[in-house]
Amino acid sequence: MKKLSLTLCAAALLCGCATTANYKKVTGSWVGADAQTLVDSWGYPARTIQAPNGNTVYEYSFEESYQTSRYTTYSYNPKTGNGYATTYGGDTLRFYCRTYFEVDEKKKVVKARFKGNSCKATAPGEERGK
């Protein structure tokens, strides 16, 4: 458990000031932008969806997973002659973010939404390590 806690703390430090609130600001800043400018910046979407209102939704996806280290501790009680082994770790951690930009018939972004546990960004104009 200690190893997992240390790994998560190290990951948090590496992320710096990346937050979900900042990601909301970044994605929200695209509302009103031209769809081609969005594609020029973000690349082609992973898929497009036809919304019920006739607009097109561009979906951008990010997903990765990590396997935590697996380790075993052993203990022995010389009085009873019993030994015990306890194994920790070996868990898979999954991180993802799906971002949706709704584009109207004039090819303008009218909405930005996202979901996932890894939708984080630094504040607009902020750089890591500074």
pLDDT in tens, 11-21: 444 445 899 99
- Dihedral pair phi/psi, residue 2, rounded to 5°: -65, -40
pTM of the shown model: 0.70
Asked if residues 114 and 98 have their Cβ atoms less than 8 Å apart, the reply is: yes
pLDDT at 6 exceeding the cut of 80: no
Please give the single-letter amino acid code of residue 125. G
Query: In the predicted model, what is the mean pLDDT of residues 60-82?
Result: 91
CA distances from 18 to 7, 15, 116, 121 (A): 17, 6, 14, 4
CA distances from 8 to 3, 68, 127 (A): 9, 10, 22
Tens digits of per-residue pLDDT, 77-109? 889 989 989 998 889 999 999 999 999 999 999
pLDDT on residue 10: 44
